[in-house]
Amino acid sequence: MKYIRYSALNILLIAFVIQIIACSNKSNHIAYQCPMECQIDTVFKYEGKCPICKMELIGIDTIPEKTTIINNFKQKQ
pLDDT digits (tens, 9 = 90+) for 33-71: 899 878 778 888 888 898 889 999 998 888 877 777 777
For the beta sheet containing 31-33, the strands, ordered from the edge strand earlier in sequence to the opposite edge, are 58-60, 31-33, 42-44, 68-70
In terms of pTM, does the model score above 0.85?
A: no
For residue range 13-26, list pLDDT tens digits in order: 777 666 666 555 45
Flag whether 38 is in a domain. Answer: yes
User: 42: helix, coil or strand?
Assistant: strand
Cα–Cα nearest to 59, from 23, 35, 25: 35
Quote the number of domains for the chain. Answer: 1
Alpha-carbon Rg for the chain in angstroms: 20
Flag whether 77 is in a domain. Answer: no
* Domain span holding position 37: 2-70
Flag whether 75 is in a domain. Answer: no
The dihedral through the CA atoms of 27, 28, 32, 36 has a sign that is: negative
CA distance 24 to 74: 18
